[in-house]
A and B are shown apart, each in its own frame.
Chain A
Amino acid sequence: KAGVTQTPRYLIKTRGQQVTLSCSPISGHRSVSWYQQTPGQGLQFLFEYFSETQRNKGNFPGRFSGRQFSNSRSEMNVSTLELGDSALYLCASSLEPEPPAQYFGPGTRLLVL
């Protein structure tokens, strides 16, 4: 079974631009979560989607948004990019209802200049 895939793998943007990242979960997984990893803050939860609905949201500004499609694929969008948004963005999927183990993709490395 194929794992979680994320595109693109690497991205360079400039301040003020917006970016959209894509995630395809493991087949059959309906929950998709997004995390941001930075050297200073570690892995931080952004949001989680299930059946096209956002169920949980982390402590990030409204510039960070996401959505999930009917085939469980998910996208996250960051508007008005700031230098501090440079990070590894990780997508994870899990099989409902139990166990809540999440399986991660390889991540998208975003660099904001």
Chain B
Amino acid sequence: DQQVKQNSPSLSVQEGRISILNCDYTNSMFDYFLWYKKYPAEGPTFLISISSIKDKNEDGRFTVFLNKSAKHLSLHIVPSQPGDSAVYFCAASGGSNYKLTFGKGTLLTVNP
């Protein structure tokens, strides 16, 4: 049972345009959500997070939106740069459980 789902295995966008990565979850106990970026042969790099008490969090070019009623979150990257090309993972945690549950990832390719 996959509790965190990233339904798009890949996404391709042009440099300078917006990249939108989506994530759905099923567990109502999740109250903290994170996005990570991963290059091959490296560990995931933390990008941005959002608590369930908020619906939006911004950090530079990265914005995460949370829709609790739909159990959906998205990561917006504006403007997209070739260096953003990587696999992006959505992760969630709930309550005092510090375990992260990850989605399968979305490969983002930003074309020059």
Interface residues of A (CB under 8 A from B): 4, 6, 31, 33, 35, 42-45, 48, 50, 55-56, 58, 90, 92, 94, 99-107, 109
Main secondary structure of the interface of B (DSSP, over half): strand
Partner of A107, one of B34, B43, B91: B43
Q: Which residue of A lies closest to B102 (CB)?
A: A43
Q: Which one of B20-28, B63-71, B92-100 contacts A?
A: B92-100
Find out whether the CB atom of A100 lies under 8 angstroms from the CB atom of B98.
Answer: yes
Smallest distance from the beta carbon of A102 to chain B beta carbons, Å?
6
A-B contact pairs, 17 of them (CB 8 A): A43-B100, A48-B99, A50-B98, A56-B98, A56-B99, A90-B44, A92-B43, A100-B32, A100-B93, A100-B98, A101-B34, A102-B98, A103-B46, A104-B45, A104-B46, A107-B41, A109-B41
Interface readout for B10-36 with A: 1 if CB under 8 Å, 0 if not? 000000000000000000000010101
Find out whether the CB atom of A90 lies under 8 angstroms from the CB atom of B43.
Answer: yes
Smallest distance from the beta carbon of A111 to chain B beta carbons, Å?
13
Q: What are the 8 tightest A-B residue pairs by CB atom distance, in nearest-first order?
A: A104-B43, A43-B102, A45-B99, A42-B104, A104-B44, A56-B99, A106-B43, A107-B43
Smallest distance from the beta carbon of B15 to chain A beta carbons, Å?
27
In angstroms, Cα B99 to Cα A94, docked, is 11
Size of B's binding interface in residues, CB under 8 A: 23
Find out whether the CB atom of A4 lies under 8 angstroms from the CB atom of B43.
Answer: yes
Find out whether the CB atom of A55 lies under 8 angstroms from the CB atom of B98.
Answer: yes
**CB-CB under 8 A for A56 and B97, given A106-B43, A107-B43:** yes
